[in-house]
Structure 1
Amino acid sequence: MTTGVSFKVLVVDDSNTIRRSAEIFLKQGGHEVMLADDGFDALAKVNDYEPQLIFCDILMPKLDGYQTCAIIKRNERFANTPVVMLSSKDGVFDKARGRMVGCQEYLTKPFTKDQLLQAVQQFVNNKQGTL
């Protein structure tokens, strides 16, 4: 399911398994992937790597996904970079809190390759629509 459009994607998750699965799925979809294992690592990589899309776990040590997303969104360079929250919880409260800090989408773990690539495709389509 490659679109011919390669996106620079950052995956932030403290679970090595989730990071590796996401990396494999995204690379199979033709995307460039950078990994971060916590919020602080993510902030450094966002600045250096300038991803076009960020998948961010909610429950992480030190800096959780909500805090990480809020900090990214406060930086005007990255305010328009889409953030998709990853969580094992599918609660209304979690989704609402994610939207409050600026995330555009919410994906429940465990996700499938198709769900992950569809989430990316949605933002590829949005970006092409604004060109």
Structure 2
Amino acid sequence: MEDDFKSLKVMVIDDSKTIRRTAETLLKKVGCTVVTATDGFDALAKIADTQPNIIFVDIMMPRLDGYQTCALIKNNSAFKSTPVIMLSSKDGLFDKAKGRIVGSDQYLTKPFSKEELLGAIRAHVNTSSSASANA
């Protein structure tokens, strides 16, 4: 059921235009509103205005990396409950552990599939309208 995603706002933070475009295309197809950011600073400037339901953040970025960005988001009381999914081209245990330490909710290895992307959203965001009434 793709309509589950209609009212969702998703932020994708990645310095790679290809990754941003891929994620944006996949997510828009299922009805999400997508906000993209090129790095952590860009994301932090946009996050308060957009109030995303879930954030995907690349680990390897210039200036402010994914760990720092995630930590800053999670340290902000307004966004600490917003799920943050780390994206990385490395599938390392160390990266996953470090992601957990800074408060990330999940770790996806790039290139990710549409199923992985939507699966992460389903796992962390209450997508069914009937269930959200009980939340």
Q: Same fold (TM over 0.5)?
A: yes
For 1:76 and 1:53, locate their aligned partners in 2 and report how far apart those are by CA, in whole Å.
15
| CA distance 1:126–1:23, shift in 2 (3 Å) | closer
The offset of 1:28, in angstroms, is: 1.1
- Asked if 2 retains the 8 angstrom alpha-carbon contact of 1:82 and 1:103, the reply is yes
| Distance in 2 of aligned mates of 1:32 and 1:40 | 20
Q: What per-residue deviation string (whole Å, max 9, x for no partner) do you get for residues 52-90 of structure 1?
A: 100000000000000000011111000100000000000
What is the CA–CA distance in structure 1 between the aligned matches of 2:75 and 2:28, rounded to whole Å? 29
* TM-score normalised by structure 2 residue count: 0.91
Question: Which amino acid letter does the alignment assign opposite residue 102 of structure 1?
Answer: G
Distance of 1:4 and 1:42 partners within structure 2: 25
CA contact (8 A) 2:73 2:79 kept: yes
Q: How many aligned residue pairs are there?
A: 131
Q: 1 CA distance for matches of 2:40 and 2:28?
A: 22
Q: Is 2:107 the counterpart of 1:106? A: yes
Report the equivalent of 2:2. 2
Unaligned runs of 5+ in 1: none
How high is the sequence identity, in percent, across the aligned residues? 59
Partner residue, 1:33 = 34
> Could you tell me how far apart the structure 2 residues matched to 1:108 and 1:49 are?
26
Asked whether the 8 Å contact 1:19–1:35 carries over to 2, the reply is: yes
Kept in 1: contact 2:54–2:125 (CA 8 A): no
Give the structure 2 partner of residue 118 of structure 1: 119
Per mean C-alpha deviation after superposition, the further-off stretch among 2-11 and 77-86 is 2-11
Residue number in structure 2 paired with 1:86: 87
**Paired position in structure 2 for 1:54:** 55
Structure 2 counterpart of 1:20: 21
TM superposition shift of 1:117: 1.0
